[in-house]
Amino acid sequence: MGTWITGIAQNSFSSRHYKLWIPPTCGNHKPSALVMMLHGCTQTAEDFAALSGMNRIADRDSFLVVYPEQARRANFLKCWNWFDPKHQVRDAGEPAILADIVAQIQSSHNIDSQRVYVVGVSAGGAMAVVLAATYPDLFMALGVSAGVEFKGATSRSSGLALMRHGGPDPNRQGLLAFQAMAAGLKKKPRLRIPVIVFQGSEDGHLHPVNADLLIAQWTKTNQCLAEGQRANGLGKLAEAASEEQMPGGRSFTKHRYRDGVGLLMEKWIIHGMGHAWSGAPAGVRHGDAKGPDTSEEMWRFFRETSLAPADARNSVSVAAPRSRPVKAT
């Protein structure tokens, strides 16, 4: 079984505590992947670890998982402040603190810089989007459960409106995300940012249209990346959708989007699910045990999109879910 290590990252903006999960098989002889997990409102690091089950996967596949914790002094409900312009830019606010957490872990552990990923749920999902846009040199792919577009809101009131009705024009937000990447792209040029999104169709807290807008925003952002690098054909997407069913559980619609390299984005709509983490263990608060395993699928997606371009076109699933979904009839 793995081990928890606690830490704190401090800079001129503030500080945040975090918990790092280290599997027993991780050593300094081989670089490890790192997954940053951003919790939702009212949650702690341990809450999100229990909800997601990501540590179990990390133990099996030998990668590190870090869970930053929002401070109550920064937000009474412990939500990440994704809607505040002060926390939507590079080298400032919460994005800078979270980036410093990655840097701190990299300084003390053997981390593969090509396999650092960010995942978030709800408010954490919205902040994960901010991190992917502001630090494309750090985070190689993005996983979101019940999240929103980049800069979809710029105040608390507009954030609440977005949650009820959806956000602004995704093409505009996609361009804003691309513009926010400028400093990071100078450090590490990127052709594409892989993104996987999960959303419950009956989410009464966040309107499901936000999943569509989020994918549309990252479609535009990836088009801008390809055009900026003069990579002809990468910005053109082919979409394939399938209707599937978990044995004894929920049905879902899975959308897969491919570009000229291979798999680029996925969108999972879980039918009948509310504001929850799909595939969580039974009885865990804010979890839904009847849906597909979000953590397994995100980790599979990260691994698949991390493959070399020649291999990515012919890759297959590399993660074994708790129960295998079957095609709906």
Kindly state the DSSP code that residue 28 receives in the 8-state scheme. Answer: T
pLDDT tens-place string over residues 81-95: 999 999 999 999 999
Amino acid at site 190: R
pLDDT tens column, 248-289: 999 999 999 999 899 999 999 999 999 999 999 999 999 999
Please report where in the chains the tokens 């312009």 appear, as a residue: 85
Q: What is the dihedral of CA 148, 149, 153, 156, to 10 degrees?
A: 20
Contact criterion met (CB below 8 Å) for 4 and 17: no
Distances (CA, A) of 41 to 45, 78, 205, 304, 320: 11, 5, 12, 30, 30
pLDDT (0 to 100) of residue 233: 67
Could you tell me the CATH number of the domain that includes residue 69? 3.40.50.1820
Count of structural domains, the chain = 1
Given a contact cutoff of 8 angstroms between Cβ atoms, the answer to whether 266 and 301 are in contact is: yes
What are the residues whose beta carbons fall under 8 Å from the beta carbon of 282, sequence distance 6 or more? Answer: 289
Nearest to 153 by CA among 127, 184, 121: 127
3-state secondary structure of 237: coil
In the chain, count H helices and then E strands.
10, 13
* Residues 139, 76, 88: CA angle, nearest 5 degrees: 35
- What count of residues does the chain have? 329
Give the pLDDT of residue 30. Answer: 86
Give the residue numbers spanning the domain of 97: 3-327
> Per-residue pLDDT tens for 10-39?
988 889 999 999 998 876 578 999 999 999
- Which pLDDT value is given to residue 328? 40
User: What tokens does 260 get?
Assistant: 């000229």
State the pLDDT at residue 93. Answer: 95
List the beta strands (DSSP E) in 259-318: 263-270, 277-278, 287-288
With a cut of 70, which residues of the chain have pLDDT below it?
Answer: 27-28, 230-233, 235, 307-329
